[in-house]
Amino acid sequence: MPYRYSILLVDDDPHLIELLNHAAQQVFPEASFFQVTSAAEAIAYIETLEGYGPRLVLLDLNLSSADNGLHFLSFLRANENTRFLPVVILTVSNLYGDIENSYALGVSAFTIKPTRLDEWVDYVRNLRNYWFDTVTLPAIVFNKNRR
């Protein structure tokens, strides 16, 4: 069985995981996406992890819950276990204020959601090429005693 690359998707669109999985089948079959739909759900998920968890987070800014994606980003950067976990904003917003606020809070990259299936395939291919084939990521080991 090939090595799996665990990617946490924080987005309230229930169809997005299907798009990502479809694109990944073509260009990144080792990817394993896990979706949560709110910042609160994402925090609860992170707090239950022990050992190895996601190697990358794809985070939407505009979640339908009261908390937005920046709330979760702030949580990650304040948490000793996750402060170095790469977070890529994946959103429809191209507002300069959203971009600036995201980088100020420590996002690793800011990307705009593709609109067509072929663009999603390119997005996932580029995600793999950069985050898993090009850069060296720190080992993130979750420890409930270091929160």
For the chain, how long is the longest CA-to-CA vector? 43
- At 3 the pLDDT is 63
CB burial of 102-116 (b: ≥16 within 10 Å; e: otherwise) equals beebebbbbeebbee
- At 40 the pLDDT is 93
Q: What is the mean pLDDT of residues 12-30?
A: 95
Residue 135 has pLDDT above 80, yes or no: yes
**Nearest CA-CA partner of 5 in 30, 34, 28:** 30
Higher-confidence residue: 37 or 145? 37
Which domains, from first to last, does the chain contain? 11-135 (3.40.50.2300)
- At 141 the pLDDT is 86
How do strand 56-59 and strand 5-10 relate by DSSP bridges?
A: parallel
Determine contact, residues 66/12, Cβ cutoff 8 Å: no
Q: What tens digit of pLDDT does each residue of 67-119 get?
A: 789 999 999 999 988 999 999 999 999 999 999 999 999 999 999 999 999 99
pLDDT over 90, % of the chain:
82
- At 146 the pLDDT is 57
